[in-house]
Amino acid sequence: MASDICVRVGRRIRELRKEKGWSQQLLADHAELERAHLSRLEEGRREAGLRVLERIARALDVDVEDLVRRGSVKRSDG
């Protein structure tokens, strides 16, 4: 179900990753995650903890809140 938070967050991560032109492996490397774990997150089959969300957000140059809220994404300043 698209309204499920895990699915929404996963879709947002995938969207931001693709905007950067990155593969799952490249994002996983930058976020210090296993590619298979990232894949399950993007598919909404795995729930991300706060530390994982923080690492993904940092790698994508966004704030954690941009991964979980509905609406447009604002890029972080640094």
Assign residue 35 the CATH number of its domain: 1.10.260.40
Side chain identity at residue 14, one-letter code = R
Structural domain count, the chain: 1
Confidence of residue 77 (pLDDT cuts 50, 70, 90): low
Segment 19-44 shows an average pLDDT of 97
Domain-embedded: residue 57: yes
Residue of higher predicted confidence among 16 and 69: 16
* pTM (2 d.p.): 0.85
Range of the domain at 28: 5-67
Instruction: Note whether 6 and 46 are within 8 A (CB).
Output: yes
Instruction: Note whether 67 and 56 are within 8 A (CB).
Output: yes
Q: What are residue 73's phi and psi, to 5 degrees?
A: -105, 135
